[in-house]
Amino acid sequence: MVRCFIGIFIPDSLKPKILEIQNLIKSPYVDYKLVEVENLHLTLSFLGEVEDTRVPDIKDELDRICSNFKKFNISIAGIKFIPNEKYIRVIVLDAFDNLGTLLEISKEIKFCIGGDAKPPHLTLCRIKKINKDVVSKLQNIDSYCGGFQIASVQLIESRLSRSGPVYNILHEAKLL
């Protein structure tokens, strides 16, 4: 079994602004776990534990899906709370493009491969407890982090360790 997800790693050029936003979350009134800078990524679908024998089929299907899409540009901006503002378990940044291509790829992955596919997002942190003042502060910040070109989508293994998850790219599917 391999624990994995389908996603896209974030370029280093966007990380300073993302770290700036993560620093705004830090507060004595928040019980949280920030995503490590080297692990920042867009999540398209969380597959969870997958049989090793299924991995080659997932790679093939991911290649097939990505071969139907041209490279495109996305923007990272907009604080969101999952599942909602009243009960926050995860704080994320929204990822979007003008034509909705990222969402379309994500839906195709969910339909053809499966997994838990929320709309594409970049997880900033997981929350155990948060103060409403911190939520208000986050809602009122400039959360635009920049944009970048999506040229590929990765199948990523997530091995859990005491110091946090360790990610390993199992496969990279190129867009046209």
Q: Which residues are marked as active site?
A: 41, 121
What tokens does 55 get? 């991995």
Amino acid symbol at 155: L
Lookup result for tokens 């920049």: 146
CA quadruple 59, 65, 70, 75: dihedral positive or negative? negative
The answer to whether 92 and 123 are in contact (CB under 8 A) is yes
DSSP code per residue over 110-121: HHHT-SB-PSSE
Look at residues 140, 130, 132, 118 and name the one whose alpha carbon lies nearest to residue 21: 140
The amino acid occupying position 172 is: E
Distance CA 85, CA 107 (A): 24
